[in-house]
Chain A
Amino acid sequence: MEFFIQILINGLSLGFLYALAALGFVMIFKSSSVLNFAHGALMAIGAFLFLVLSTWARLPIWAAFMLTLIGSFSLGFIIERFFLRPLIGEALIEVIMLTLGLFIMIKGLLLFIFGGDLYSYPDFLPPALTFNWGGIEVPGVYVATFIVGLIFLGLFGFFFKYSSQGIYMRSVADNQPAAMALGVHVRRVFALSWAIAALVGAMSGIVLGIINGINVHQVSDIGLKVFPVVILGGLDSIGGAILGGIIIGLLETFTGGYISSSLREVIPYIALIIILLIKPYGLFGLVEIERV
């Protein structure tokens, strides 16, 4: 029983991690319907920026955190300005390929600078976050992840539903030419959505780093694990990203715990194929009736 609960907790925390990673991905998809393969790279950049600022430059944690967020926000702008902007109006396939190229490029750059080593952050979370739950200790990191996830869920829910920028983003994703014709500033929407996605990516990268330590390969692999999560939840659903993340996280740890540890890495993808065959738009995705 204890084993079960331990696995459950591991799965939940892993799930929240996936959910956080998926949030930024859904952000891009919702506002520009681009499958962003570079999301893992954005996460890695955030995580390493925080590492450099907090341990190498020895800034106080809050300053390093704020600077990381600002830095990745601007990085999102820069990426959009120099790489994505020339492709506005081009075929989707080229944009997807471009994000794939960006992913490899950034990963190579980070590997070149930091190598494949495992780095870890100093322990800075307040011990008050750790709590005992029926004899099982839940580490503070998981609680922090949970809180951050909830805050983001709320914020983005409101952002897309009620703010004008959020509504612009949805309109651009739905039909770019029509949104343009109605006076939506498409370029600004793209820039903002990439900036926010980079910011969310950095946040999830940092959380990942706190839990597991950071390693270029590992962080960018999580960027690929995002795909089963968002497919399960529905590509454009924020709530779906959270729930999908948790389900995939649980699936992974339970397979690892009870069946075999080598199957663990593959089971999300097997689930992905099955979901695609049964319910391609996911649990909460917008069903586009387009029978071809």
Chain B
Amino acid sequence: MRKLQFHPCGNFNETYDRELTIFETDFGRISTLVGLIVLFAVVPFISNAFILYVINTIGIYAIAAIGLNLLIGYTGQISLGHGAFFGVGAYAAAILSMKAGMPFVIAVPLAGLITAFVGMIFGTPSIRLKHLYLCIATLASQFILEYIFIEWEGMTGGAAGISIPAASLFGIDLGSDRNFFYVIFFCFSVMIWLAVNITRTRYGRAFIAVRDNDQAAEGMGIPIFRYKLLAFAISSFYAGFAGALFAYYMISITPEPFGIWLSIEYIAMIIIGGLGSIPGSVFGTVFIVALNEILSHVTEYLMNISPSIGGAITIAPIREFVYGLAIVLFIIFEPKGLAEVWRIVRSSFRLWPFSY
């Protein structure tokens, strides 16, 4: 058996394969394994219903956030329509299961593919446009899709929404939070694994080249439009997949949650987590969802101790202010986000006490 390696002793990468490796040391590999075991075998049994609900929400949002990070962080194309694409996935899953009677296993990935297609349609303005313009085009797609959710009543049920039968997988009913937890986090792990590996392939390297300098990338022979569109499609697929899970988890959906606010929330997640970092997207999601829950509990608490003050306090403005502040502070002081904080903390532990 090979000797396990726990500490990297400098950068001695002799091949490109070595540099692309995901785990530099066996320590990372082992801790990932331990993390997975804890996640699947311990977490669902020690947490109560509320905590489990929060964790499930984090899992669903994290999948979509990873998709957005592939688009913004790796390919450098800003999208302000991610919330709407998430909604497309949710509606697609709802319609597929209600109108076409498809089972859960087929409806979810198919909803992802449909969303990817919709994403590509809205990504076509990127043929001739740089990210400034594309960013505005996605803003437009947000409003147009929202309009379709509300107005296409025959399919989406309009403002009243649409409800979905409870999911079942191979005869097992997924109605309970704990059963759904396993589905979400199985998908979550697969999606992370996919995303990490996409960034290591030629596609991932092409994305990064497009982000860093599109003219140089074109000069190197990378067909930019095709790769931008591919990035759009992948990111929308992630959003749609997560949206489909969300629809099944929530059982009934209305157009309301898929507004521009959700898109901004996703952007906040990946900025706070760290642009161009897959673990960062997860950190950011945890941060934002936790912040949401904490803020709503604080306002509830304030309302309980004194109804006279509490009556005037509503959560939405405070939440918007805190999100905005968090985005601004992270961009100014730590543009690489929580992922960078995590790296610094880790390496200072490793280097202690000889930090030079």
One of B47-55, B128-136, B342-350 contacting the partner: B128-136
Whether a CB of chain A sits under 8 angstroms from the CB of B147 is yes
Q: Are A83 and B332 in contact (CB under 8 A)?
A: yes
**B76 partner residues in chain A, CB cutoff 8 A:** 93
Contacts of B124 in A (CB 8 A): 277
Check A154 for interface membership: any CB of B closer than 8 A.
no
Interface hub of B140, B268, B317 (most chain A Cβ within 10 A): B140
* B321 at interface by CB-CB < 8 Å: yes
- Min C-beta distance of A198 to chain B, whole Å: 17
> Majority SS of interface residues in chain B?
helix
CB within 8 Å of A: which B292-329 residues: 316-328
Chain A residues within an 8 Å CB radius of B122: 273
Partner of A35, one of B136, B140, B325, B326: B136
What is the CB-to-nearest-CB distance from A126 to chain B, in angstroms, rounded to a whole number? 37
- Write the nearest CB–CB distance from A92 to chain B, whole angstroms: 7
Q: Is the CB of B328 within 8 A of A96?
A: no
Chain B residues with CB under 8 A of A291 = 128
Cβ of A148 under 8 Å from chain B: no
Number of interface residues of B (CB under 8 A): 49
Q: Give the chain B neighbours of A87 by CB distance below 8 A.
A: 331-332
Point out the residues of chain A lying under 8 angstroms from B326, CB to CB.
101
Indicate whether B244 reaches chain A with its CB closer than 8 angstroms: no
Question: Which single member of A83, A102, A276 contacts B125 (CB below 8 Å)?
Answer: A276
Given contacts A262-B151, A280-B125, contact A93 B144 (CB under 8 A): no
Contact B140 A273 (CB under 8 A): yes
Interfacial chain A residues near B325, Cβ < 8 Å: 101, 105
Partner of A107 from B141, B320, B331 at Cβ < 8 Å? B320
A-B contact pairs, 8 of them (CB 8 A): A101-B326, A104-B264, A106-B324, A108-B316, A231-B133, A266-B147, A272-B136, A280-B129
Q: Which residue of B lies closest to A273 (CB)?
A: B140
Task: Judge whether B129 and A101 touch: CB under 8 Å.
Answer: no
Bits for A257-290, please: 1 = Cβ < 8 Å to B, else 0.
0000011011001101100110010000000001
Chain B residues contacting A3 (CB-CB under 8 Å) are: none
Q: Does B78 contact A (CB under 8 A)?
A: yes
A108-B320, A108-B321, A112-B321 are known contacts. Are A269 and B140 too (CB-CB below 8 A)? yes
Residues in chain B near residue A265, CB distance under 8 A: 143, 147
B267 CB–A CB distance under 8 Å: yes
Given contacts A108-B322, A276-B125, A276-B129, whether A292 and B214 have CB atoms under 8 Å apart is yes
Residue of A nearest to B142 (CB): A269
Cβ distance A191 to chain B, nearest Cβ, rounded Å: 17
Contact status A108-B318, CB under 8 Å? yes
Docked-complex contact B335 and A90, CB < 8 angstroms: yes
Given known contacts A101-B324, A101-B327, is B136 in contact with A231 (CB within 8 Å)? yes
Given contacts A93-B72, A97-B267, 20 further A-B contacts (CB under 8 A): A87-B331, A92-B131, A96-B78, A96-B135, A98-B327, A98-B331, A102-B324, A105-B323, A106-B324, A108-B319, A108-B321, A111-B317, A112-B317, A112-B318, A265-B147, A266-B144, A272-B140, A276-B136, A276-B137, A291-B128
B139 lies within 8 A of chain A by Cβ: yes
Do the beta carbons of A98 and B332 come within 8 Å of each other?
yes
Question: Are the CB atoms of A292 and B218 closer together than 8 Å?
Answer: yes
Chain A residues with CB under 8 Å of chain B are 33, 35, 83, 86-87, 90, 92-94, 96-98, 100-112, 224, 227-228, 231, 235, 262-263, 265-266, 269-270, 272-273, 276-277, 280, 290-292
Residues on the B chain within 8 Å of A106, using CB: 324
Cβ-closest chain A residue relative to B139: A227
Count A-B pairs with CB separation below 8 Å: 132
Whether B137 and A272, one on each chain, are in contact in the complex, defined by CB atoms closer than 8 angstroms, is yes
Q: Which residues of A contact B332 (CB under 8 A)?
A: 83, 86-87, 98
Alpha-carbon distance A290/B133, docked complex (angstroms): 14
Report the bound CA distance from A228 to B137 in whole Å: 9
Residue B120, interface by CB 8 Å: no
Please report the C-alpha to C-alpha distance between residue A199 and residue B275 in the assembled complex, in whole angstroms.
33
Asked whether B137 lies within 8 Å of A273 as measured between CB atoms, the reply is yes
What is the distance, in angstroms, from B165's C-beta to the closest C-beta of chain A? 30
Bound complex: CA A19 to CA B299 (Å)? 40
Contact with A along B283-294 (1 / 0, CB 8 A): 000000000000
- Kindly list chain A residues whose C-beta atoms are within 8 Å of the C-beta of B331: 87, 94, 97-98, 101
Cβ contact within 8 Å between A109 and B317: yes
Q: Does B271 contact A (CB under 8 A)?
A: yes
Are the C-beta atoms of A111 and B215 separated by less than 8 Å?
Answer: no
Q: How far is the CB of A134 from chain B (nearest CB, A)?
A: 37
A86-B332, A96-B135, A105-B328 given; A273·B141 CB < 8 A: yes
A266 to B264, CA, bound (A): 19
Residues A97 and B271 in contact in the complex (CB < 8 Å), given A87-B331, A105-B325: yes
> Which of A98, A103, A111, A235 touches B316 (beta carbons < 8 Å)?
A111
- In the assembled complex, B224 has its CB within 8 A of some CB on chain A: yes
Interface residues of B in 243-290 (CB under 8 A from A): 260, 264, 267-268, 271
Q: Roughly how many angstroms separate A266 CA and B130 CA in the complex, as a whole number?
A: 24
